[in-house]
Amino acid sequence: MIVDAVTARYAEALYRLAAERGGLEAVRGGVEQLAAEIAEPRVSAFLFDARVPATEKRSRLERLTQTFHPLLRNLVGLLFDKHREEVLRGLGPAFRQRYLAGKGAVEGRVQSARPLSQADIDGLAGAVGKRISKEVLLENEIDADLVGGVRVLVDNRLVDHSVRGRLAGMRKRLSSARVLNA
Amino acid sequence: MDLRPAEVTSILKQEIESYQGETSMQSVGTVLSVGDGVARVYGLEDCMMNELLEFSGGVRGVALNLEEDNVGCVLLGSATEVTEGDEVRSTGRIISVPTGDALLGRVVNALGDPLDGRGPLAVTDDDYLPIEQPAPSVVERQPVSEPLQTGIKAIDAMIPIGRGQRELIIGDRQTGKTALIIDTIISQKTTGGGDPSNPEQVLCIYVAVAQKQSTVVDLVRRLEAAGAMAYTIVVSASAIDEASMQYLSCYAGASMGERFRDEGRHVAIFYDDLYKQALAYRQVMLLLRRPPGREAFPGDVFNLHSRLLERAAKLADNAPQINPRYKAGGGSMTALPVVETQEGDVSAYIPTNVISITDGQIFLEANLFNSGVRPAVNAGISVSRVGGAAQIPAMKKSAGGLRINLAQYRELQAFAQFGSDLDKATQATLTRGEKLVEILKQGQYAPVPVAEQVMMIHAGTSGSLDEVPTTRVGEFEEALLAHMRDAQPDVGAGILESGVLSDEAKAAIEEAVGVVRAQLGM
C-alpha cells in the first residue's frame, strides 16, 4: 500500500494522540468508518470535486463525523484549515498501517496460481513473520500467470518462490552465462 | 567462442537443485511516475545510492535521489516499457561494468554490453567493477615521469603529455579534436607493437559521449585499418542513447582503464566530449528536480568532472604495499578529455571548469584550421603544466628553440603584414618562423615517431631549412626522414636509446639535409 509522506504524518500524529489519550480503538473505528464512507463513489466524487466550495464540503463532512471521536473531528477540521482535504483519500490505509505497526504487525499479500488453504496462508505468514520479526497478516491473491508456487509481498519485500520467477531467473542466468573458449 | 554444453547444464543443475532451497528476500518498490527517462519509485527502503534497479520489463535503472518517501532513478533503457504501478526490484549491486583484457578490441555501451555484434564478452563476475571508484590518494601517486607520445609534432614538442597527466583538448567544432585523438591512439602502436599482451603497450579507451553513430563507426574503421583496434576499447553512448547512459559512459570507461592501471599497465583514455556529458547530466538532474545553478547546470557539475579526471594518475611504485587494491605499482592512466567550445569562447562555464581541473590544454583554433595549419594547435595559449618532466632530453632541447623562434615569429607577423621594408634580422626571423610552422603541419593518420620528430625539429631550428621554399617543406621533410631511415638508421635508434641528440647525430642530420636538398634541387 502506497502511503504518501503527508498522509503518513497526519496519520502518525492522530495515532500518537489517540494512544496518549486512550481513545485508540474508538479513533480506529471512526477512521475505518470514515474511510468506508469516502470510498463510496458518490461521496468521493463530491469531496474531491474542485468545483464544490470547501465550506460546503466541510459542513457536510462535519455533519457526517458528528458522532465520531473528538480527535477525529478535530483532524477533519484541521485538514480543511490547512487545505489538505486530499489527505482524507489515503487516511484509512495510512492509519491502519500505523495501527498495525504499533502492534508489531504488518499486512501483506501472497500471490499464487490457485487459491491457498487457510492453513497454508498461516504457515507462510508465520515463516515470513519470523524472518522480519513481525506479525504478518496475509491476504491471498490469485495470479494464474505464476504457473505454480507463491510470491509473498510484505513491507516492500518480496520472496519469489513462483515457477514464473524461477524461470525468469534461470533465463537471466543462462543469458549472462560465461562464454568460454572452446 | 562457443557456449560449452557442460557449462549450461551445470547452471541448470544448480538451478534445479536450489529450487527447493531458501529463497532470498528482495527489496521491492512500486513505480509512482515515469517519464523523460526518470522514474520515481515508492518503497525500496534499503536502496543504496547508485544502486542498479531492475524494472519488470527488463529495463534497468540507477537510483540517484534517495528521498523521504520515494527513490528517484534514471532509466538505462526505453521508458516505454515501464508503467505506473510496475514492480521494481533492487539488486544490491552498485552499478558496475565488466573490465579486463576481454574488452580490448570491442565496442561496448555504458554498461559494458557489447555493441559490435561479436558475441558476449568472456568475463567473470570478478571482472565487474563499480563505475565510481575513489581516485588514488596522495601517497599512492608519483609525479609524471614517462612521456605519452602522441606522434603529433606540435604536441610532443611544445605541449608534451606525460603518462598519468590530464590534458584537455579544447576547440570549436570541426577543428580536428577527434582527429587528434585518432592519431594519438594510432601512435600508441609504437609502444608495444600493437600487441595488447605486451605489458609495455599503452592501451587506449575512447569514450564517445553523444556522438553520431556514424562518427563512431568511422573511428572504429580507421583504427581497425591502422591495426590500432586490438589495444583499444570504444565505449559508445551515442546521441540516440538515454542521457543517463551518456553521462555514465565516462565513469564506465574510467573503471575499465583503472583495472589496467592497477595492474601496472599504461592506459590513455579519451572522453569525447565532456561538454556533452555535462549537458546529459544537466538533463537528468533537472528531471530529477535537483536545483539548477549557473546556466541551469546542477551545483555539482564541477565535481562531476573533477572526480572523473582525478582518477587519471601515475601510481607510485610501492602502491601495492600501501593499498592492496593495486596489483602492481607504476601503472598509469592518462586522461585526454575533449571540450567543445562555441565560437572559441573558452571562458564559458564548462570550459573554464575543465581547464582548471586539468594539467594543461591543447587549444585548437578554427582560424588556424581554415588557413591550412593542421593540426590547428595554437601554440601560444596551449600549455602543459607537468608534461615537460616527461619529455626525452633530446626533444626538450630542440623544442626550447622551437618555442622561442615561434614566439618571435608571431610577434613580428603582425608588422610584416604591412609589407614595408624590414631589416635583415626581422626577415630572418620571419623566414625561420614560416618554415617552423610548415614543419609542424602534419597529415592525418600519420603520427611521426619521436626520433624523427627530433631530427626534423632540429633541422628547422638550426636554420638548415631557411633556404628551402616554404611550399616545399613538406616534400623536403618526407625525403629527409626517408633518407635518415634508409641511409642512417642508427641516428634515430641512437636518439631513442640515449634520449639525447649527440653532436655526431646533429652532424649526420645536417649532412643529410645537404644530400636531400641536392637531390630535390632546392
pLDDT of residue B217: 96
- Percentage above 90 pLDDT, chain B: 78
Q: Residue for cell digits 603520427? A: B447
Cβ separation A159–B11 shorter than 8 A: no
Between these two residues, B464 and B220, which has the higher pLDDT value?
A: B220
A142 and A157: one domain?
yes
pLDDT of residue B58: 84
Cβ separation A177–B8 shorter than 8 A: yes
Least Cα separation, residue A174 to chain B (angstroms): 7
The amino acid occupying position B126 is D
A69 and A111: one domain?
no
Cβ separation A178–B1 shorter than 8 A: no
B424 and B328: one domain?
no
pLDDT, mean of residues B475-503: 91
Question: Among the options B385, B472, B485, B517, which is catalytic?
Answer: B385
Q: Which residues of A touch B26 (CB under 8 A)?
A: 157-160
pLDDT, mean of residues B62-75: 93
B86 and B41: one domain?
yes
pLDDT of residue A170: 79
B399 and B386: one domain?
no
Which among A75, A101, A127 is the end of a domain? A101
pLDDT of residue B205: 98
Least Cα separation, residue A158 to chain B (angstroms): 5
| CB-nearest partner of B119 from A3, A179, A180 | A179
How would residue B11 be classed by pLDDT, with cut points 50, 70 and 90? Answer: low
- Percentage above 70 pLDDT, chain B: 96
What does DSSP say about strands B266-272 and B60-66: parallel, antiparallel, or unpaired?
unpaired
B111 and B187: one domain?
yes
pLDDT of residue A155: 86
pLDDT of residue B299: 95
Cβ separation B89–A153 shorter than 8 A: no
pLDDT of residue A165: 85
pLDDT of residue B1: 47
pLDDT of residue B297: 97
pLDDT of residue B78: 87
Orientation angle between helical segments A70-81 and A5-21, nearest 10 degrees: 150
B375 and B316: one domain?
yes
CA–CA separation, B484 and B513 (whole Å): 10
Give per-residue pLDDT as tens, B98-138: 999 999 999 999 999 999 999 888 888 889 999 999 999 99
In a domain, A68, yes or no: yes
Judge whether B93 counts as a catalytic residue.
no
Is the CB of A133 inside 8 Å of chain B's CB atoms?
no
Q: Which residues of B touch A (CB under 8 A)?
A: 1-4, 7-8, 11-12, 15, 19, 23-30, 32, 42-45, 68-69, 87, 89, 119-124
Q: Which residues of B touch A180 (CB under 8 A)?
A: 2-4, 7, 122
pLDDT of residue B292: 96
Mutate to test the interface with A, among B17, B18, B23 (most CBs of A within 10 A): B23
Cβ separation A179–B27 shorter than 8 A: no
How would residue B423 be classed by pLDDT, with cut points 50, 70 and 90? Answer: confident
Please tell me whether residue B363 adopts helix, strand or coil conformation: strand
A96 and A18: one domain?
yes
Chain A residue with Cα closest to B32: A2
The answer to whether the beta carbons of residues B384 and B156 sit under 8 Å apart is: no
A33 and A76: one domain?
yes
Residue B4 predicted with pLDDT over 90 = no
Least Cα separation, residue B14 to chain A (angstroms): 10
A81 and A10: one domain?
yes
Residue B507 predicted with pLDDT over 70 = yes
Is the CB of A161 inside 8 Å of chain B's CB atoms?
yes
CA B253 to chain centre: 10
CA distances in angstroms from B500 to B37, B458, B475, listed in the order given: 57, 12, 26
Q: How many structural domains comprise chain A?
A: 2
Q: How many structural domains comprise chain B?
A: 3
| CB-nearest partner of B29 from A156, A177, A182 | A156
Buried b (16+ CB within 10 A) or exposed e, B390-413: bbbebbbbbbebbeebbeebeebe
pLDDT of residue B39: 95
Give the range of the structural domain holding residue A75, as residue numbers without chain letter: 5-101
Cβ separation B69–A8 shorter than 8 A: yes
The amino acid occupying position B81 is E
Q: Residue for cell digits 556533452? A: B276
Element (H, E) at B129: strand B128-130
Give per-residue pLDDT as tens, B13-66: 766 666 554 567 889 999 999 988 899 999 898 899 999 999 988 899 999 999
Q: Residue for cell digits 592512466? A: B333
Residue B296 predicted with pLDDT over 70 = yes
In a domain, A21, yes or no: yes
How would residue B79 be classed by pLDDT, with cut points 50, 70 and 90? Answer: confident
A24 and A77: one domain?
yes
CA–CA separation, B13 and B134 (whole Å): 39
CA–CA separation, A90 and A126 (whole Å): 28
Is the CB of A144 inside 8 Å of chain B's CB atoms?
no
pLDDT of residue A182: 40
Is the CB of A119 inside 8 Å of chain B's CB atoms?
no
Assign residue B64 the CATH number of its domain.
2.40.30.20
What does DSSP say about strands B38-43 and B26-35: parallel, antiparallel, or unpaired?
antiparallel
| CB-nearest partner of A157 from B19, B25, B32 | B25
A21 and A92: one domain?
yes
A58 and A141: one domain?
no
pLDDT of residue B369: 94
Residue B420 predicted with pLDDT over 70 = no
A145 and A85: one domain?
no
Give the range of the structural domain holding residue B406, as residue numbers without chain letter: 394-520
Q: Which residues of A touch B32 (CB under 8 A)?
A: 2
pLDDT of residue B26: 86
B131 and B173: one domain?
yes
How would residue B387 be classed by pLDDT, with cut points 50, 70 and 90? Answer: confident
Q: Which residues of chain A have pLDDT under 70?
A: 175-182
Q: Residue for cell digits 532509466? A: B75
Give per-residue pLDDT as tens, B235-286: 999 999 999 999 999 999 999 999 999 999 999 999 999 999 999 999 999 9
Cβ separation B28–A181 shorter than 8 A: no
